[in-house]
Amino acid sequence: QQQVKQSPQSLIVQKGGISIINCAYENTAFDYFPWYQQFPGKGPALLIAIRPDVSEKKEGRFTISFNKSAKQFSLHIMDSQPGDSATYFCAAYSGAGSYQLTFGKGTKLSVIP
Amino acid sequence: DTGVSQDPRHKITKRGQNVTFRCDPISEHNRLYWYRQTLGQGPEFLTYFQNEAQLEKSRLLSDRFSAERPKGSFSTLEIQRTEQGDSAMYLCASSLALREGISDTQYFGPGTRLTVL
């Protein structure tokens, strides 16, 4: 059973546009939601993370929106650039009990000039 | 570079051989994790250490897999009698847990790409 569902699987956005990636989770014990960016042949790199006590977190061009009641969260990339072309993973983590990160299946983002 | 390092970066082996990977976490990080990532998928948890103690193992970690973190610093992941299905990227991550029950940020290494022929 997939505990974190991520969509879309792939996304093509024009330079300067907004990229939006959505995730939904089932386990209400999750209390930390990071997003990772991964380039081909590299390990995932932490992009931005949020805890469920806030509804939005912004860092530069990256914003996480969090809806606790709907058990959904999303990543918005403003003013998308070709250098943002990568695979993005949402993840969820519970510090109480298991310390493993549960990842979505990833979204391959392509930003075209 | 003070990030998580992994060695080797690439490993090609024949089916049935044993392989060992090494992970050096960020200095002073007390938690260390191993994940496996196959093409087109997100990383999947394998096991985790707090200091030298292995506290959690995934069902993905068959009897052919063993991990150690002997002095609470670097860790090794060994796969015995490799199979073609073991071909994947093996990722190591580390984190600094300040107290129990609090989620902490995991920082990933570049991974070891294993190809089993």
Residues of A engaging B, defined by a Cβ cutoff of 8 Å: 6, 31-32, 34, 36, 41-46, 49, 51, 89, 91, 93-96, 98-106
Residue A58, H or E segment? strand A56-59
Chain B residues with CB under 8 Å of A43 CB are 4, 6, 91, 108-111
Nearest CA in chain B to A45: B108
Q: What is the dihedral of CA B53, B58, B63, B68, to 10 degrees?
A: -30
Calpha distance A15→A78 (Å, rounded): 10
Bridge partners of residue A76, in order along the sequence = A20, A63
- Best mutation target among B4, B103, B105, B107 (most A Cβ atoms within 10 Å) is B103
Q: Are strands B112-116 and B10-13 parallel, antiparallel or unpaired?
A: parallel
User: Across the interface, do A46 and B101 touch by the CB < 8 Å criterion?
Assistant: no
pLDDT digits (tens), chain B, 117 positions: 579 999 999 999 999 999 999 999 999 899 999 999 998 899 999 999 999 999 888 888 889 999 999 988 999 999 999 999 999 999 999 999 876 666 678 999 999 999 999
